[in-house]
A and B are shown apart, each in its own frame.
Chain A
Amino acid sequence: MSDEALAERGAAGAAAPVARPVPFRGGGFAPRPMRLVGLVLFLVLLGLWELGSRTGWIGPLVLPAPTAVFEAFRQLVVSGQIWLHLGASLQRLLLGWFGGTLLGLLVGLAAGLFSMARAGVVPLVAALFPIPKIALLPLFIIWFGIGEESKVATILFGTFFPTVIAVYGGVDNVDRNLIRMGQSFGLSWLSIVRKIVLPGALPAILSGFRISAAIAIILLVAAEMIGAEYGIGAYILLAGNLMATDQLIAGVAILSMLGLAVSWLLGRAERYFLRWR
């Protein structure tokens, strides 16, 4: 650098330096909740769909208009048929899910607490969990008949394994220091399990419930498509056989609402049981 340049810099430095705001580089990557957007998008899609059907751009047999679907749904409610289907489905769902969850809780807890149970259960679960349970439905029909039992058994079997995995994973993740604390204060084994291990595993158990509930709904519909008189799956299958796409879509919409209702209930349960978080 020449002497002149240095002198110039010195002169510029002596004058007031140029003040510029520091450029902002943060922000973004933090999605905010915007409630209305989802609803608006949903309504816009429905509107486009209705428009497409009215103008004949979408054939009524391919996809009936939303109003036609709603009409089919209304018929279902007015005739009272919906309660027969929903009642049959909910009964299977609840029996299967409660049974599978209860057994899963017991087995998962045992695997989480006892080395012997873990050594036996974990490889077994690893081998059986990946089997799509629908593949076992024919076998269950041979074992339990075509009636309710085979359907409930399928759901029970399907929800059992994810629950086992969630529960023993949850027990594993309980802070060991809390358990040591319990032991150091002379708490009984049962107290430690009841007051430290179970509440500590509850977050994992509840998120396991979300998975098992989703699996239960899938298996419910699959089971109902094989030899059921009533049930949402049976209703959808029948509608398909009759090419009644309006009823078919109405049935699918009921499944969507069922799923939403289950996830809302579980959300409430999480809020209540995990309010300490």
Chain B
Amino acid sequence: MDLRLRGITHFYGDLEVLRDVDFGVEAGQIVCLIGPSGCGKSTLLRLLGGLERPAHGEILQLGAPPAGSLNPLTYVFQDFALLPWRTAAGNVSLVLEDHPLSRRERSEIVADVLARTKLSEFAQVLPRQLSGGMKQRVAIARALAVRPACLLMDEPLSALDSQTRELLLDDLVELWLRERFTACYVTHNLAEAVRLGHKVVVLSRRPGRIREIVEIDMPLEQRKHALAELQEQQSRLWELMREEAMAADRELADV
């Protein structure tokens, strides 16, 4: 299943946050969205998953989601959004409980996704006992449990310290190589964008318009060992963003 955005314009009250945004997310691809803070990246992601309705334009699903997908458009949140009163397994199970699955099927899915995210031994642990990185793993396991057609990731690594971020970034690459999931990945971290993105969509400052779409052809598995070339890509992206970011930084926050 592909996603297609056509002429998306969005307002919060009188404030225009997105203007005429147009791009596609193809199956099996990770599309990274970058842009200065406040440019509407996260808004765009909320529009993509149907949590908000765009003022103008349309968002289309092309083709049917794969059979057995319980929740085709599935989010991974920056703040993890785990229920603190449920264990890791309970948090995963939560999103399955509204689907017609037997108790056994459900616990099989829970065990399976926890194993795939290397969390099996933490199944019965409450979120408060887990580190930030582990919490995000639980959230990723929860997202995988509903067999999404497209993952919508809203700065999933931003709340983590840089070492944890590096570890989880490797895990995400590994996960993609195994499962070839489709994702739209919002970040303000250019290093993440060039490590994960097949396509990087650069947005301008508010109102967010598409500044440029950069394709990165290097296969994901090679990127870890080609940091020099990635650095070049990253510098190019930074050149694109630099002035926008500076201007955005100087804007008064009277919204």
Bound-state CA distance A10–B49 (Å) is 71
Do A199 and B146 touch (CB < 8 A)?
no
Which B26-83 residues sit within 8 Å CB-CB of chain A?
49, 51, 70-71, 73-75, 77, 79, 81, 83
Mask, B96-118, CB within 8 Å of A = 1, is 01100000000000000000000
Which B189-213 residues sit within 8 Å CB-CB of chain A?
none
Bound-state CA distance A195–B77 (Å) is 19
Bound-state CA distance A195–B94 (Å) is 8
Interface residues on A, range: 10 to 19
The answer, yes or no, to whether A188 is at the interface (CB within 8 Å) is yes
Bound-state CA distance A59–B79 (Å) is 66
Chain A residues near B168 (CB-CB < 8 A): none
Do B98 and A277 touch (CB < 8 A)?
no
- On whether A187 and B74 interact (CB within 8 A), knowing A195-B83, A277-B128, the answer reads no
The answer, yes or no, to whether A95 is at the interface (CB within 8 Å) is no
Bound-state CA distance A175–B81 (Å) is 9
Bound-state CA distance A180–B70 (Å) is 17
The answer, among B70, B79, B83, B84, for a CB contact under 8 Å with A277, is B84
The answer, yes or no, to whether B1 is at the interface (CB within 8 Å) is no
- On whether A181 and B75 interact (CB within 8 A), knowing A187-B98, A188-B98, A191-B98, the answer reads yes
The answer, yes or no, to whether A121 is at the interface (CB within 8 Å) is no
- On whether A196 and B74 interact (CB within 8 A), knowing A180-B51, A188-B98, A191-B97, the answer reads no
Bound-state CA distance A184–B51 (Å) is 7
The answer, yes or no, to whether B85 is at the interface (CB within 8 Å) is yes
Which A169-198 residues sit within 8 Å CB-CB of chain B?
175, 177-178, 180-181, 183-188, 191, 195-196
The answer, yes or no, to whether B126 is at the interface (CB within 8 Å) is yes
Interface residues on B, range: 20 to 34
Bound-state CA distance A228–B95 (Å) is 55
Residue ID in chain B nearest A274 by CB atoms: B85
The answer, among A177, A178, A183, A185, for a CB contact under 8 Å with B146, is A185
Residue ID in chain B nearest A192 by CB atoms: B98
Do B81 and A178 touch (CB < 8 A)?
yes
Do A276 and B95 touch (CB < 8 A)?
no
Task: Name the prevailing secondary structure of the B interface residues.
Answer: loop
Do A186 and B71 touch (CB < 8 A)?
yes
Chain A residues near B128 (CB-CB < 8 A): 276-277
Chain A residues near B70 (CB-CB < 8 A): 186
Do B85 and A199 touch (CB < 8 A)?
yes
Bound-state CA distance A31–B51 (Å) is 47
Mask, B143-158, CB within 8 Å of A = 1, is 0001000000000000
Chain B residues near A184 (CB-CB < 8 A): 49, 51, 71, 73-75
The residue in B85, B97, B146 that gathers the most chain A C-beta atoms within 10 A of its C-beta is B85
- On whether A185 and B74 interact (CB within 8 A), knowing A177-B81, A277-B84, the answer reads yes
Bound-state CA distance A183–B50 (Å) is 10
Bound-state CA distance A195–B85 (Å) is 10
- On whether A185 and B95 interact (CB within 8 A), knowing A180-B51, A277-B128, the answer reads yes
Shortest Cβ distance from residue B211 to the other chain A in the assembled complex, whole angstroms: 28
Do B51 and A183 touch (CB < 8 A)?
yes
Do A196 and B71 touch (CB < 8 A)?
no
Shortest Cβ distance from residue A177 to the other chain B in the assembled complex, whole angstroms: 5
Chain B residues near A186 (CB-CB < 8 A): 70-71, 98
Do A177 and B79 touch (CB < 8 A)?
yes
Shortest Cβ distance from residue A178 to the other chain B in the assembled complex, whole angstroms: 6
Bound-state CA distance A91–B174 (Å) is 64
Chain A residues near B77 (CB-CB < 8 A): 177, 181
Do B83 and A178 touch (CB < 8 A)?
yes
Shortest Cβ distance from residue A271 to the other chain B in the assembled complex, whole angstroms: 14
Do A196 and B83 touch (CB < 8 A)?
yes
Shortest Cβ distance from residue A277 to the other chain B in the assembled complex, whole angstroms: 7
Chain A residues near B83 (CB-CB < 8 A): 178, 195-196, 199
Top 9 A-B residue pairs of the complex, sorted by shortest distance between their CB atoms: A181-B81, A276-B85, A185-B95, A184-B75, A199-B85, A177-B81, A186-B71, A276-B84, A187-B98
- List 27 A–B pairs whose Cβ atoms lie within 8 Å, in order of A's numbering: A177-B77, A178-B81, A180-B51, A181-B75, A181-B77, A183-B51, A184-B51, A184-B73, A184-B74, A184-B75, A185-B74, A185-B94, A185-B146, A186-B70, A186-B71, A186-B98, A187-B94, A187-B95, A187-B98, A191-B97, A195-B97, A196-B83, A199-B83, A199-B85, A276-B86, A276-B128, A277-B84
20 further A-B pairs in the complex, CB-CB below 8 A; given A187-B94, A195-B83, A195-B94: A177-B81, A178-B83, A181-B75, A184-B49, A184-B51, A184-B71, A184-B74, A184-B75, A185-B71, A186-B98, A187-B98, A188-B98, A191-B97, A191-B98, A199-B85, A276-B84, A276-B85, A276-B86, A276-B126, A277-B84
